[in-house]
Structure 1
């Protein structure tokens, strides 16, 4: 079982448009799917779950859609707090804390993180106003501000300056809607993650899709730059 699953939930707008609705209508259905998925992830024993809720580039979308996404996330957070207590979920947020984040959403995020901070079950990390390149740039800025000597730089040190330094790298990353890219998501942390792309639009994503992705993950051999036993035997024979 992967310890940390990250998800890029894509396809809300297309799902709605295929049903002759407005783009924003799909986000309500997407929120319900998210609720069911997190509940199932808890029951499966997944320790960390990170969702790409709103990227730094998503501000370029129509203003009405941006506002609707923010209000949907805000409502979902408050609606989820009882379940967080029931399932012992800890909620966290990563991203840039800029003024453009709606004040009501920021209050909801702060309230949820403070209310659930002592929970010891699954950690649910919501990436809002997040960009992988921004995170690396912000880490570099902090390193410079702290006066770290260039000779002391290494990957472990940089990791300690990321938004959530205690968060383990994702084992499995799932992207819906048939798009085969990571879209500036957790660029540092995804170095050795297993990627699974599914054609299902996010509002159609079910627990069965999650299980399929986990089974695909379990079929793979994670080498982290080394070779598996089969290749080692082949190397010996070649020698």
Structure 2
């Protein structure tokens, strides 16, 4: 594949762990465990395809509505993968970034996340952003508050605020906007994920449940992306 035809940034809404478990009559936590393995496959596929940025929607701000038991299981699984797979990510040249509100998971887990970010900071093969307790509307509101504080402090004039400045106050200010957003499980919505950043992203919705997601699914999504003509509001040549 010619590098210029590939998406630079792929974002994934990982959906279907619960339905996968329900269909098999096993506990939901088993679906999350299998979903963790799918994350590993997705990262490997991104590296193999030469993708530079990968963002995974791991836990939304709305997921706090789930049962305390499920949230506890999810948190434990994330801690397990962080402790036991970080070395592998580091060796693969993956830089880990966290967006969202990870502090809501507790000070101890948040410190582990920040240490993982620091440990992998120098890696350049793939920037892996995990969205934890993330909601795009909250992120947009946060950007507005940052700029409002600058206006109140007298360091920014309201008329100087433009799209670039607003984007610079988002948590994703240091990564490019996604070229491709894919979602598994057959659902066809963004669910409060990277709403500002996805203004011109190509959207692909897959019927596969996340625990069954494979390198082949990733490759097919990339092929579908490459067949599309991206005009960004202009007319085809």
TM-score, normalised via structure 1 length: 0.93
Tell me what 2:219 maps to: 211
Q: Larger C-alpha radius of gyration, 1 or 2?
A: 1
Matched, 1:133 2:141: no
The 8 Å contact of residues 102 and 132 in structure 2, kept in 1 or not, is answered as no
Does the CA contact (< 8 Å) of 1:74 and 1:104 recur in 2?
Answer: no
**How many angstroms apart in 2 are the aligned matches of 1:87 and 1:64?**
33
Distance 2:185 2:148 in 1: 39
RMSD of aligned residue pairs (Cα, Å) = 1.0
User: Structure 1 residues 68, 103: closer, same or farther in 2, change over 3 A?
Assistant: farther
Alignment of 1:164-183 (within 5 A): 164-183=172-191
Q: Do the aligned residues in 2 keep the contact of 1:52 with 1:126 (CA within 8 Å)?
A: yes
What are the residue-to-residue correspondences of 1:190-209 with 2, within 5 Å?
190-209=198-217
Q: Runs in 1 of length 4+ with deviation above 6 angstroms? A: none
The answer (yes or no) to whether the contact 1:71–1:105 under 8 Å persists in 2 is no
Unaligned segments of structure 1, at least 5 residues: 230-239
1:26 and 1:37 mapped to 2: Cα distance? 16
CA distance in 2, matches of 1:198, 1:164: 25
Q: 1:185 maps to which residue? A: 193
Partner of residue 51, structure 2:
46
Larger mean Cα displacement after TM superposition, 10-19 or 20-29 = 20-29
1:128-166 CA-to-partner distances (Å, cap 9, x unmatched) read 010000000000000011113221111000010001211
Instruction: Report the TM-score, using the length of structure 2 for normalisation.
Output: 0.93
